[in-house]
A = this chain, B = another copy of it.
């Protein structure tokens, strides 16, 4: 009973809101990328989980796509005066979440448990599950060597050309114990329109995780993060170009080949409908309004129902 959605940053969080609004809280759970987690200023920071948590709590800064709304920056200004590192912006209110989570982790609380407590305190009723309680750290390979993900993504604004990716620690990571709980009786799995290389692949790199998804036997569908040859947001298309791939929705479907049972294309890519080696669904996938988010979520659920043998 219910659905599981794999998600990374802002694009994923948008669809997550849609799913959260059209399903009961016990019908949806989110499995979140922690490959972009990092230690900064002595704090454990989980950017993708924070984006989702704030979004579902109604506290997110929708314009920026990260952090909290109604934020202030006095800590950052004082840190700058003290000569501290300011390339990763931590708002005064946001800081409280990082301090709270870091304190829990130091006391031996797992990331799964810490996330559950924080989400509950902020009034989020849908389960938010980190992909793993073990550290996995995405490294972006570039011509000038490997870079920690946040250095690539935030400090260097995705400017270096990528040559590949590595998920350090993934070999020894285990899926969050909450994953099995939510796969029990699951009706379908959705890969949100997140970056395949740095949001979704780290999740799939956790040994046993992909196998657990497949073993559930339910339809697994992905929503294309590429629309009309461009990424809606973020470096997906730029990365595909640098990796020598065409930046097309079809290429993303191929990236997930063997894992997914169906692919959701944007209307702008309707020409690909029926042209891929898997079932496709054409949908309005640009999520500008709340209705867009709900509409795409409904399309994803309906697509899963169809794949489950139901009628459209």
Contacts and interface: CB of A to CB of B under 8 A. Distances in A.
A185 interface: no
A43 B99 CA distance: 9
A100 B84 CA distance: 7
Interface string A112-131: 00000010011000000000
A11 to B, nearest CB: 26
A143 interface: no
A42 B42 CA distance: 8
A43 to B, nearest CB: 8
Interface string A77-91: 111011110000001
Interface in A141-165: none
B97 A78 contact: yes
A42 B102 CA distance: 8
A93 interface: yes
How many copies of the shown chain assemble into the complex? 2
Contact of A92 (B81, B92, B103, B118): B92
A121 B74 contact: no
A82 B118 contact: yes
A82 B72 CA distance: 17
A16 B240 CA distance: 62
Contact of A82 (B41, B81, B100, B106): B100
B42 A106 contact: yes
Contacts of A96: 75-76, 78-79, 81-82, 84
A176 B246 CA distance: 63
Nearest to A83: B121
B92 A75 contact: yes
Contacts of A121: 81-83
A304 to B, nearest CB: 35
6 contacts: A68-B78, A72-B74, A72-B92, A81-B96, A83-B100, A83-B121
